Amino acid sequence: MRSTIKDVAAMAGVSINTVSRVINDKGEVSQETRERILEAIESLKFRPNSFARSLQGKKTHFMGQIVTDCTNPTNAQQIRAVQNITATQGYSVMLVDTSEQHERELAAVELMVEKFVDGFIITPLQFDNAHLFQLHQEGTVPFVLTNRAIEGLEVDAVLHDNFKGAYEATRHLIETNHTRIAYITSRRQVWTVNERLAGYRAALAEAKIDYDEELVIQINLDLESSYEATKHLLKLSRRPTAIFCYNDHMAVGAIKALKEAGVSVPGEMALVGYDDILYAQYLEVPLTTVRQPTKELGEAAAEVLLRRIANRKAPVERVILQPSLIVRASSRPV
């Protein structure tokens, strides 16, 4: 069986990143470590695969993209946008889905280094990000963060203004005379979730409406969980008159629970989602939602990474894309 860069790293007792730095002659590696790696390469008769033209000082023209869930409609749009931009520059994209699992993210980042991609785009999980800090410090492979920022990691990032999106959605409900506004959100402690909760709270505070923990339900991001969360809200002694959902997918679960309970939308309950996925406008009651420029995010991420590949020493870029509130029939004044 053909040896891999992982085999070399194991024999030399170093990381894949360190092996890559020696192969590409980039970054500082001690002479003793360098010799150990070269001995392992010779012993294993390791020869980099076709991705590794970078050994000759050339680009591989392969780029990576690591996403948390490729079946998510917004992620799918982003993936296509990245590929459309990179294809014009002669790049192929290696796509990896982590399914929101830390072990898969670690393996995906290792794969990017092992395959000598020129750079990669990643939506990180945001817990235990030591591997990304290390990769940035070693300078082996450039990468761009999308959707989620990581505090203290000074790398290129392309983000949505999630705070503003949630703020605008909540303010819209307040302006239509709602004061009991529930928020069904994710239980994950990631940047996107925290920013949207902060936007929701800021709109309430601005209107001098007390934040009520009873009205904030943190759940798994699936239809069944949002369905159950809505049923719970309807059982409260003072139930809300409006529900804001973390995304449109969760709003569909809420709609099912409301319909079963005989609660009309928007007559008895206003409903607002987030993302403006394709079917939001085609629901029985078209959904008021926050539109994210997802296609633009993918395009911007690809363009930022291409610039970084061309100039590794350029200043760090942080692009913030603005959302827009799309008002439809599911929300109305009370």
Residues 97 and 142 in one domain: yes
The strand pairing partners of 144, in sequence order, are 121
Residues 197 and 236 in one domain: yes
* DSSP structure class, residue 157: E
Count structural domains, the chain.
Answer: 3
At 86-141, the pLDDT tens digits run 999 999 999 999 998 999 999 999 999 888 899 999 999 877 789 999 899 888 89
Please give the model's pTM, rounded to 2 decimal places: 0.81
* DSSP structure class, residue 286: P
Cis preceding-peptide flag for 73 (omega within 30 of 0)? no
User: Nearest-CA neighbor of 65 among 4, 120, 142, 16?
Assistant: 120
- Calculated CA dihedral for residues 78, 157, 280, 180, nearest 10 degrees: 160
Q: What angle do CA 291, 121, 169 make, to 5 degrees?
A: 20
C-alpha distances out from residue 137 to 17, 126, 133, 253, Å = 10, 18, 6, 43
Q: Give the tokens for residue 29.
A: 């590696």
How far is it, in rounded angstroms, from Cα 225 to Cα 218? Answer: 9
- Written as one string, the DSSP assignment of 234-263 is HTSTT--SEEEESSHHHHHHHHHHHHHTT-
Residues 202 and 268 in one domain: yes
- Calculated CA dihedral for residues 269, 274, 279, 284, nearest 10 degrees: 10
Residue 273 inside a domain? The answer is yes
Residues 253 and 267 in one domain: yes
Residues 182 and 232 in one domain: yes
Residues of the chain with pLDDT under 70: 1-2, 24-27, 47-58, 334
Tell me, what CATH number does 271's domain have?
3.40.50.2300
* DSSP structure class, residue 316: P
Residues 251 and 272 in one domain: yes
Residue 141 inside a domain? The answer is yes
Q: Tell me the one-letter amino acid at 230.
A: T
Q: Give the tokens for residue 115.
A: 């395959």
Residue 208 inside a domain? The answer is yes
Q: What is the pLDDT of residue 57?
A: 52
Residue 178 inside a domain? The answer is yes
Q: What is the pLDDT of residue 51?
A: 43
Residues 271 and 205 in one domain: yes
Residue 55 inside a domain? The answer is no
State the residue range of the domain holding 190: 162-292
Q: Compute φ and ψ for 14, nearest 5 degrees.
A: -135, 180
Q: What is the pLDDT of residue 39?
A: 87
How far is it, in rounded angstroms, from Cα 121 to Cα 236? Answer: 43
Q: What is the pLDDT of residue 56?
A: 45
For the chain, the first-to-last Cα distance in angstroms comes to: 70
The strand pairing partners of 3, in sequence order, are none
Tell me, what CATH number does 42's domain have?
1.10.260.40
